[in-house]
Amino acid sequence: MRVFLYGTLMDPAVFQRIAGTAAPLEAARPALLEGWRRVTLRAAPFPTLLRDPSGRVDGLLATIPLALLPPLHAYEGQLYRFVTVRVLSDGAILSARAWVAHPSRADPRRPWPPA
């Protein structure tokens, strides 16, 4: 499954600790998500995405085996929904999934990563 990563799961050490392997990141490609911006959650120092017509978020497009999704879902927790997004990668617009918190949980004044 294609998954757009834009936060802590882009770190191979974090991905390895959660999923037991970093192999999906080794083959991941740079990707751009337009129409969104990356901000910090209100209650925790983690990122989420907010819709923003002029926003752009750089991330990674990874192909993640279905067997690795349960520990990743557990890591992301109940704050996040697994939604469909469209990203630009290698000159093509592709459908992917991404973990995104409900907009009410995002702090639009706090970009992520914090400065």
Domain ranges of the chain: 2-103
2-103: in CATH 3.10.490.10? yes
Tokens encoding 67: 């067997």
d(CA 46, CA 3): 18
Average pLDDT rounded to a whole number, residues 72-80: 95
d(CA 111, CA 37): 8
**Pairing of β 80-89 and β 92-101:** antiparallel
**Residues 62, 66, 72: CA angle, nearest 5 degrees:** 70
Tell me, what's the pLDDT at 23? 96
Residue 27, pLDDT above cutoff 90 = yes
Tell me, what's the pLDDT at 65? 98
Largest CA distance in the chain: 36
Average pLDDT rounded to a whole number, residues 42-57: 96
Mean pLDDT of the chain: 96
Contact 79, 29 (CB under 8 A): no
Taking the model in full, what pTM does it have? 0.96
